[in-house]
Amino acid sequence: MDWSNLWSFIWIFFWSFAFIAYLFALFAIIGDLFRDHELNGWWKAVWILFLIFLPFLTALVYLIARGNGMAQRSAKAASDAQAATDAYIRQTAGGSASPSDEIAKAKALLDAGTISAQEYEAIKAKALGA
């Protein structure tokens, strides 16, 4: 086995990993810049220009200088997305209806003959928590 080929492969693999990790950091920084509503637009432009012309140094400085705020904005975005998902699930599942709404719907179904009186009483008891 030729060791020079093995070390070349390892070297290429290492630099490929470093480049992909840098791209992840770069996109995270750009996403954070546009997520930050407190930062002036001119400062955002300055950060972007520095990311273009001095990419590694600027990414390192950004992560050191604004890392805490970046983590807070990311956590807030995640919690907002989770809250929106929970609200959508509750709305779709119909779990947000009040007991009186559920009883009224059950009464309409009873009047239409869709459910029996026993089913209506069961729905009413469930809605009232009994």
Would you kindly state where each structural domain of the chain is located, as residue ranges?
3-96, 97-130
DSSP letter assigned to residue 107: H
18-68 tens-digit pLDDT: 999 999 999 999 999 998 889 899 999 999 999 999 999 999 999 999 989
Taking CA atoms, 96 is separated from 25, 88, 110, in Å, by 40, 10, 22
DSSP annotation of 38? S
pLDDT at 91: 79
Q: Sign of dihedral through CA atoms 39, 43, 45, 50?
A: negative
What is the value of pTM for the model shown?
0.59
CA distances from residue 64 to 29, 39, 117 in whole angstroms, order as listed: 12, 16, 67
